[in-house]
Amino acid sequence: MDSSSLDAAASVLAKSKHLVALTGAGISAESGVPTFRGRGGLWEKYKVEELATPQAFRRDPVKVWSWYKWRMEIISKARPNFAHVALAKLEEMGLLKALITQNVDGLHRRAGSKNVIELHGCIWRLRCTSCDYAEYIEEPVREVPPRCPRCRSLLRPGVVWFGEALPERELKRAYQEVSRADAMLVVGTSGVVMPAGMLPLLAKERGAVVVEVNVEESAITPYADYFLRGRATEVMKALFEGICERLGKSP
Protein backbone atom coordinates (compact mmCIF):
# COMPACT_ATOMS: atom_id res chain seq x y z
CA MET A 1 0.00 0.00 0.00
CA ASP A 2 1.73 3.21 -1.02
CA SER A 3 1.54 5.96 1.54
CA SER A 4 0.84 8.77 -0.95
CA SER A 5 -2.40 7.10 -2.13
CA LEU A 6 -3.29 6.39 1.48
CA ASP A 7 -2.73 10.03 2.47
CA ALA A 8 -4.70 11.33 -0.51
CA ALA A 9 -7.53 8.87 0.18
CA ALA A 10 -7.65 9.83 3.87
CA SER A 11 -7.89 13.52 2.89
CA VAL A 12 -10.73 12.91 0.44
CA LEU A 13 -12.66 10.74 2.90
CA ALA A 14 -12.14 13.19 5.79
CA LYS A 15 -13.59 16.01 3.67
CA SER A 16 -16.55 13.95 2.35
CA LYS A 17 -20.08 15.10 3.10
CA HIS A 18 -21.87 11.82 2.29
CA LEU A 19 -19.54 8.86 2.59
CA VAL A 20 -21.02 5.44 1.81
CA ALA A 21 -19.22 2.10 2.22
CA LEU A 22 -19.67 -1.14 0.27
CA THR A 23 -18.21 -4.31 1.76
CA GLY A 24 -17.77 -7.90 0.66
CA ALA A 25 -16.49 -11.16 2.09
CA GLY A 26 -12.89 -9.88 2.18
CA ILE A 27 -13.64 -7.62 5.15
CA SER A 28 -14.53 -10.70 7.23
CA ALA A 29 -11.66 -12.87 5.95
CA GLU A 30 -9.37 -11.90 8.86
CA SER A 31 -12.17 -12.82 11.26
CA GLY A 32 -11.90 -16.37 9.92
CA VAL A 33 -14.99 -16.28 7.68
CA PRO A 34 -14.18 -17.86 4.28
CA THR A 35 -14.53 -15.74 1.15
CA PHE A 36 -16.21 -17.10 -1.98
CA ARG A 37 -13.70 -16.49 -4.78
CA GLY A 38 -9.96 -16.45 -5.08
CA ARG A 39 -7.54 -18.76 -3.28
CA GLY A 40 -9.34 -21.05 -0.83
CA GLY A 41 -12.72 -19.48 -1.55
CA LEU A 42 -15.94 -21.44 -0.94
CA TRP A 43 -16.80 -21.64 -4.63
CA GLU A 44 -13.51 -23.47 -5.25
CA LYS A 45 -14.72 -26.34 -3.05
CA TYR A 46 -18.50 -26.22 -3.32
CA LYS A 47 -20.91 -25.87 -6.22
CA VAL A 48 -23.19 -22.82 -6.13
CA GLU A 49 -25.93 -24.71 -7.97
CA GLU A 50 -25.96 -27.40 -5.26
CA LEU A 51 -26.02 -25.06 -2.26
CA ALA A 52 -27.05 -21.50 -2.99
CA THR A 53 -30.07 -21.59 -5.32
CA PRO A 54 -33.81 -22.08 -4.67
CA GLN A 55 -33.69 -25.20 -6.88
CA ALA A 56 -30.92 -26.71 -4.73
CA PHE A 57 -33.00 -26.11 -1.62
CA ARG A 58 -36.10 -27.70 -3.17
CA ARG A 59 -34.02 -30.67 -4.37
CA ASP A 60 -32.12 -31.33 -1.13
CA PRO A 61 -32.99 -29.10 1.85
CA VAL A 62 -30.93 -31.28 4.21
CA LYS A 63 -27.76 -30.79 2.14
CA VAL A 64 -28.31 -27.04 1.85
CA TRP A 65 -29.13 -26.66 5.54
CA SER A 66 -26.09 -28.78 6.55
CA TRP A 67 -23.89 -26.34 4.61
CA TYR A 68 -25.51 -23.28 6.15
CA LYS A 69 -25.27 -24.84 9.63
CA TRP A 70 -21.55 -25.39 8.98
CA ARG A 71 -21.17 -21.71 7.92
CA MET A 72 -23.17 -20.59 10.99
CA GLU A 73 -20.78 -22.57 13.20
CA ILE A 74 -17.76 -20.82 11.65
CA ILE A 75 -19.38 -17.38 11.87
CA SER A 76 -20.54 -17.88 15.48
CA LYS A 77 -16.85 -18.32 16.45
CA ALA A 78 -15.81 -15.22 14.45
CA ARG A 79 -15.31 -11.79 16.01
CA PRO A 80 -15.52 -8.45 14.20
CA ASN A 81 -11.99 -7.35 13.22
CA PHE A 82 -10.61 -3.81 13.18
CA ALA A 83 -11.88 -3.15 9.67
CA HIS A 84 -15.46 -3.72 10.87
CA VAL A 85 -14.76 -1.60 13.97
CA ALA A 86 -13.22 1.24 11.94
CA LEU A 87 -16.38 1.50 9.83
CA ALA A 88 -18.53 1.53 12.99
CA LYS A 89 -16.36 4.33 14.42
CA LEU A 90 -16.56 6.35 11.17
CA GLU A 91 -20.36 6.07 11.44
CA GLU A 92 -20.25 7.14 15.10
CA MET A 93 -18.13 10.18 14.11
CA GLY A 94 -20.93 11.12 11.67
CA LEU A 95 -18.67 10.67 8.63
CA LEU A 96 -19.96 7.32 7.29
CA LYS A 97 -23.62 7.77 6.40
CA ALA A 98 -24.45 4.21 5.28
CA LEU A 99 -22.79 0.81 5.07
CA ILE A 100 -23.97 -1.41 2.23
CA THR A 101 -22.82 -4.99 2.69
CA GLN A 102 -23.02 -8.15 0.61
CA ASN A 103 -22.07 -10.16 3.69
CA VAL A 104 -24.62 -12.23 5.57
CA ASP A 105 -22.43 -12.83 8.65
CA GLY A 106 -23.82 -9.98 10.76
CA LEU A 107 -20.31 -8.88 11.82
CA HIS A 108 -20.92 -5.20 10.96
CA ARG A 109 -23.82 -5.01 13.43
CA ARG A 110 -21.76 -6.87 16.04
CA ALA A 111 -18.99 -4.27 15.52
CA GLY A 112 -21.51 -1.52 16.34
CA SER A 113 -22.56 -0.28 12.89
CA LYS A 114 -26.19 0.86 12.93
CA ASN A 115 -27.09 1.97 9.39
CA VAL A 116 -26.27 -1.34 7.70
CA ILE A 117 -27.96 -2.29 4.44
CA GLU A 118 -27.73 -6.09 4.11
CA LEU A 119 -28.23 -6.49 0.37
CA HIS A 120 -27.92 -10.29 0.47
CA GLY A 121 -29.81 -10.82 3.72
CA CYS A 122 -28.50 -12.31 6.96
CA ILE A 123 -27.59 -15.91 7.78
CA TRP A 124 -29.01 -15.43 11.31
CA ARG A 125 -32.49 -14.68 9.94
CA LEU A 126 -34.71 -17.69 9.25
CA ARG A 127 -38.00 -17.46 7.42
CA CYS A 128 -40.79 -19.90 6.67
CA THR A 129 -41.22 -21.24 3.13
CA SER A 130 -45.03 -21.20 3.55
CA CYS A 131 -46.29 -18.63 6.06
CA ASP A 132 -44.89 -15.22 7.04
CA TYR A 133 -43.10 -16.53 10.14
CA ALA A 134 -39.55 -15.18 10.49
CA GLU A 135 -37.07 -15.04 13.37
CA TYR A 136 -33.51 -14.00 14.16
CA ILE A 137 -31.46 -16.70 15.88
CA GLU A 138 -28.32 -16.22 17.95
CA GLU A 139 -26.67 -19.59 17.41
CA PRO A 140 -26.45 -22.29 14.72
CA VAL A 141 -29.63 -24.27 14.07
CA ARG A 142 -29.86 -27.60 15.88
CA GLU A 143 -32.51 -29.39 13.82
CA VAL A 144 -31.64 -29.85 10.12
CA PRO A 145 -33.77 -28.87 8.33
CA PRO A 146 -35.48 -26.54 10.84
CA ARG A 147 -39.27 -26.37 10.71
CA CYS A 148 -41.67 -23.49 11.22
CA PRO A 149 -43.08 -23.51 14.78
CA ARG A 150 -46.36 -22.17 13.38
CA CYS A 151 -47.11 -24.33 10.33
CA ARG A 152 -44.36 -27.01 10.39
CA SER A 153 -43.20 -26.14 6.86
CA LEU A 154 -39.46 -25.87 6.15
CA LEU A 155 -37.65 -22.77 7.33
CA ARG A 156 -35.01 -21.36 4.97
CA PRO A 157 -31.96 -19.15 5.58
CA GLY A 158 -32.89 -15.45 5.20
CA VAL A 159 -30.21 -14.95 2.55
CA VAL A 160 -30.51 -14.12 -1.17
CA TRP A 161 -29.69 -17.12 -3.37
CA PHE A 162 -28.45 -16.93 -6.92
CA GLY A 163 -31.37 -16.29 -9.24
CA GLU A 164 -33.39 -14.57 -6.50
CA ALA A 165 -34.33 -10.91 -6.34
CA LEU A 166 -32.60 -8.75 -3.73
CA PRO A 167 -34.82 -7.42 -0.92
CA GLU A 168 -36.62 -4.40 -2.44
CA ARG A 169 -36.40 -2.11 0.59
CA GLU A 170 -32.66 -2.66 1.03
CA LEU A 171 -31.94 -2.26 -2.68
CA LYS A 172 -33.91 1.00 -2.80
CA ARG A 173 -32.04 2.33 0.25
CA ALA A 174 -28.73 1.33 -1.33
CA TYR A 175 -29.51 3.20 -4.57
CA GLN A 176 -30.66 6.26 -2.58
CA GLU A 177 -27.43 6.30 -0.58
CA VAL A 178 -25.31 5.83 -3.71
CA SER A 179 -27.13 8.67 -5.46
CA ARG A 180 -26.22 11.01 -2.57
CA ALA A 181 -22.64 9.78 -2.07
CA ASP A 182 -19.72 12.14 -2.76
CA ALA A 183 -17.30 9.39 -1.69
CA MET A 184 -17.50 5.59 -1.64
CA LEU A 185 -15.21 3.31 0.36
CA VAL A 186 -15.19 -0.24 -1.09
CA VAL A 187 -13.65 -2.94 1.12
CA GLY A 188 -13.04 -6.60 0.28
CA THR A 189 -15.24 -7.37 -2.68
CA SER A 190 -14.42 -8.95 -6.03
CA GLY A 191 -17.16 -6.75 -7.51
CA VAL A 192 -18.38 -9.49 -9.84
CA VAL A 193 -21.88 -10.08 -8.39
CA MET A 194 -24.58 -7.66 -9.51
CA PRO A 195 -26.22 -5.36 -8.67
CA ALA A 196 -23.91 -4.79 -5.66
CA GLY A 197 -20.79 -4.81 -7.84
CA MET A 198 -22.17 -1.97 -9.93
CA LEU A 199 -22.88 0.45 -7.04
CA PRO A 200 -19.39 2.00 -6.94
CA LEU A 201 -19.60 2.71 -10.67
CA LEU A 202 -23.02 4.34 -10.20
CA ALA A 203 -21.55 6.50 -7.44
CA LYS A 204 -18.58 7.42 -9.60
CA GLU A 205 -20.84 8.36 -12.51
CA ARG A 206 -22.56 10.81 -10.17
CA GLY A 207 -19.23 12.38 -9.26
CA ALA A 208 -18.27 10.41 -6.17
CA VAL A 209 -14.63 9.56 -5.46
CA VAL A 210 -14.11 5.78 -5.14
CA VAL A 211 -11.53 4.39 -2.69
CA GLU A 212 -10.95 0.63 -2.82
CA VAL A 213 -9.29 -1.59 -0.20
CA ASN A 214 -8.38 -5.09 -1.37
CA VAL A 215 -5.48 -7.55 -1.22
CA GLU A 216 -5.65 -7.83 -5.01
CA GLU A 217 -7.22 -6.03 -7.96
CA SER A 218 -10.94 -6.57 -8.50
CA ALA A 219 -13.59 -5.69 -11.11
CA ILE A 220 -13.82 -2.32 -9.35
CA THR A 221 -10.13 -1.40 -9.44
CA PRO A 222 -10.10 -0.16 -13.07
CA TYR A 223 -12.31 2.78 -12.10
CA ALA A 224 -11.31 3.29 -8.47
CA ASP A 225 -9.73 6.70 -7.87
CA TYR A 226 -7.56 5.20 -5.13
CA PHE A 227 -6.64 1.50 -4.88
CA LEU A 228 -5.15 0.72 -1.46
CA ARG A 229 -3.63 -2.75 -1.77
CA GLY A 230 -3.48 -4.62 1.53
CA ARG A 231 -5.39 -6.55 4.13
CA ALA A 232 -8.55 -4.83 5.32
CA THR A 233 -7.48 -4.61 8.99
CA GLU A 234 -4.09 -3.09 8.11
CA VAL A 235 -5.33 -0.61 5.52
CA MET A 236 -8.44 0.39 7.50
CA LYS A 237 -6.27 1.07 10.56
CA ALA A 238 -3.97 3.38 8.60
CA LEU A 239 -6.92 5.01 6.80
CA PHE A 240 -8.86 5.51 10.03
CA GLU A 241 -5.83 7.09 11.75
CA GLY A 242 -5.27 9.37 8.74
CA ILE A 243 -8.91 10.50 8.77
CA CYS A 244 -8.87 11.13 12.55
CA GLU A 245 -5.67 13.16 12.22
CA ARG A 246 -7.28 15.36 9.55
CA LEU A 247 -10.42 15.83 11.61
CA GLY A 248 -8.44 16.57 14.76
CA LYS A 249 -9.95 13.54 16.52
CA SER A 250 -8.13 10.90 18.51
CA PRO A 251 -8.40 7.46 16.80
Smallest separation (angstroms) from ligand APR to the CB of 138:
22
CB-based burial label for 248 (10 Å; 0-12, 13-18, 19+): exposed
Residue from 80, 121, 188, 242 in contact with ligand APR (CB under 6 A): 188
**Which residues share a beta bridge with 209?**
183
Q: Which residues contact 116 (CB under 8 A, 6 or more apart)?
A: 99, 101, 108, 109
CB closer to ligand APR, 156 vs 231: 231
CB closer to ligand APR, 177 vs 212: 212
Quick check: 218 binds ligand APR (CB under 6 A)?
yes
Instruction: Return d(Cα 62, Cα 74) in angstroms, integer.
Output: 18
Distance, C-alpha 60 to centroid of its chain:
27
Residues from 116 through 145 that contact ligand APR (CB under 6 A):
120
CB closer to ligand APR, 234 vs 241: 234
Residues from 112 through 131 that contact Zn ion (CB under 5 A):
128, 130-131
> How many CB atoms are closer than 10 A to CB 111?
23
Quick check: 35 binds ligand APR (CB under 6 A)?
yes
Catalytic residues: 120
Residues near ligand APR (CB under 6 A) are 24-26, 29-30, 35-38, 41, 102, 120, 188-190, 193, 213-216, 218, 231-232
